Amino acid sequence: MKELPLVSQWAFQIDKLFHGRPSGIDNSICTHGGALLFRSGQIVEQLPKVDSFPVILVNTRVARNTKAMVEIARQKYNKFQAIVDSIWSAIDAISMRAWQLIQQNKDLDDFATLFDMNQHLLNSLGVGHSAIDKIVDCAKRYGLSAKLTGAGGGGTVIIYNTLKGTLNGHLKPLYIYLMD
């Protein structure tokens, strides 16, 4: 469709109204689909089509404040630069391993481990929230892995479905637990 670049540009402009300086990831994926590799503020590579990726998105019902999360991470960086640099290097390594798995379309069960490691590292940067932790812990209780999305501090949690087959038997207890 020749209109897709225009749709993406408009979506990016709308995202700017809500987030100030969006990355361009959301509008690109929502418009074109697939997966993309994003580094240092730039889209490096985009796969136009990927096999299904079984996830559940859970709204924490906590409004996130990207600016506040960035400031928290910046303060940690200013105080513990070498340590935070190492954390960012580990997060980068996790992202690159995930990208390799997507490209090769194999060992997708390793995503569960990558989700867990990434979530712990993000918490160490101070961008977690008790509502996120509750969802992550609940997912773990049912054999699933989860992590925060975006800047953290609330917003949405992504749960990677490592269970084969239907989730119907797991979603109701998960829902009930989260509503308490």
The residue whose two tokens read 């640099």 is 85
Number of CB atoms found within 10 A of residue 98's CB = 18
Do 85 and 79 meet the contact criterion of CB atoms below 8 Å apart? no
End-to-end, the C-alpha distance of the chain in Å comes to 45
Residues 6+ apart with CB under 8 A from 148: 119, 122, 127, 128, 129, 132, 155, 156, 157, 158
Amino acid (1-letter code) at residue 57: L
The Cα-based distances of 41 to 44, 90, 113, 145 in angstroms read: 9, 18, 26, 27
Active site residues: 26
